Amino acid sequence: MPATLIDGKAFAARVRAKVADHVTRLREEHGLVPGLAVVLVGEDPASQVYVRSKGKQTAEAGMASFEHKLDVKTSESDLLALIAKLNADPEVHGILVQLPLPAHLDSDLVINSIDPAKDVDGFHISNVGLLGTGQKSMVPCTPLGCLMMLRDHHGSLSGMNAVVVGRSNIVGKPMAQLLLGDSCTVTIAHSRTRNLAEVCRGADILVAAVGRPEMIPGDWVKPGATVIDVGINRVEGAEGKTRLVGDVDFASCAEVAGAITPVPGGVGPMTIACLLANTVTACCRANGLTEPE
């Protein structure tokens, strides 16, 4: 495998250690404990795993973790009332509502009811607008993690051709905004893109956020390109067991790419690390303190 492996797991551990250091300083020098509230409605198994993992890592970083698990039938007004309470709570610096919400709840309405200053997922319409206009905002965790790994690997991204496959509000679009902010020439591809293979072959940086197992083969990758695989897909493995794969075919892409993130152990661990970092940032901003870099 000629490609360099971008080790998201190790990188995320370094980010979490920096977060923990900052949390210690906030506590010792200012008597502050950054707090993250996570709201889960219903019992979606994947969401339960994410919420558990978020709570555990929040506590390990020395921060306060507030979990609110609500019944699947919770009404919109009850959920909005909880969010209003969390918005007003000075011990809560970050609020995350685990998506997807049950179908009877309006996700946009719920997300936009979070105080933008506490919106550590960066999905509130104000934060989306701030990011799009290059202003200080809360940046969505998954694309932020991707950007951090790219900057770490390349230094400057200026002038590079970046192709983002996927245009979702939570990954593809904010990823494209961040790459544009770092002066890449950005193409956003999606299910209607013509000649996707050719588009991908033009990428110095190829970000796959599609949700289709191993869709991108090695011959879509420009030799030496950096491949960031956001996809998390569970597929049938050997002996009836399941395994996780990304949106790129790792084996063939790693033969051609200059650098590549694995699945698991690439983008995934960075997402929660960035969530913790965003919570510390929110705490610092709320208290008029210098933010971590």
Tell whether residue 230 is a contact of ligand NDP (CB under 6 A): yes
DSSP class of residue 216?
B
Helical ranges in the chain per DSSP H = 8-30, 45-60, 76-88, 107-111, 125-132, 141-154, 172-181, 196-201, 250-256, 267-286
If the CB atoms of residues 44 and 89 are measured against ligand NDP, the closer one turns out to be: 44
Tell me how far, at minimum, the Cβ of 172 lies from ligand NDP, in Å. 5
Whole-angstrom distance, CA of residue 222 vs CA of residue 199? 10
Say whether 231 counts as a known binding-site residue.
Answer: no
Check binding of 9 to ligand NDP (CB under 6 A). Answer: no
Q: Near ligand NDP by CB under 6 A, which window of 57-65, 84-92, 230-238, 278-286? A: 230-238
| CA 116 – CA 104 distance, rounded (Å) | 23
| Selected catalytic residue, list 98, 118, 247, 249 | 98
Look at the block and give the residue holding tokens 């609500």: 70
140 three-class SS: coil
Task: Tell me the per-residue interface mask from 167 to 206 with ligand NDP, x by CB under 6 A, - otherwise.
Answer: xx-xxx----------------xxxxx--x----------
Question: What does the per-residue mask of binding to ligand NDP show for 131-150, with x meaning CB under 6 A?
Answer: -----------x--------
In the set 57, 119, 121, 173, the catalytic residue is: 121
Q: Is 246 annotated as a binding residue?
A: no
The pair of three-digit structure tokens given for residue 114, joined into one six-digit string: 């979070």
Specify the length of the chain in residues: 293
Q: Is 135 a residue of the active site?
A: no
Minimal distance in Å, beta carbon 184 to ligand NDP?
Answer: 19
Using rule CB under 6 A, residue 218 touches ligand NDP: no
| β-sheet bridge partners, residue 244 | 234
Q: What is the smallest separation between the CB atom of 9 and ligand NDP, expressed in angstroms?
A: 12
**Cβ pair 44, 102 in contact under 8 A:** no
Q: Which residue is nearest to ligand NDP (CB)?
A: 168
For 269, phi then psi, to 5°, come to -60, -25
Does position 34 interact with ligand NDP (CB under 6 A)? The reply is: no
**Residue 47 is a binding residue for ligand NDP (CB under 6 A):** no
Residues 6+ apart with CB under 8 A from 56: none
Angle between helices 141-154 and 8-30 in degrees, nearest 10: 110
> Catalytic one among 54, 118, 173, 222?
54
**Binding to ligand NDP in span 115-134, by CB under 6 A:** none
229 is catalytic: no
Burial class (CB in 10 A: 0-12, 13-18, 19+), 115: middle
Q: Of 50 and 283, which CB lies nearer to ligand NDP in the complex structure? A: 50
- In 3-state terms, what secondary structure has residue 268? helix
Stretch that binds ligand NDP, among 121-129, 131-139, 147-155, 231-239 (CB under 6 A): 231-239
Catalytic residues: 54, 98, 121
Question: Which chain residues interact with ligand NDP by CB under 6 A?
Answer: 142, 165-168, 170-172, 189-193, 196, 209-212, 230-233, 247, 267-268, 271
Indicate the annotated binding residues for NADP(+): 166-168, 232
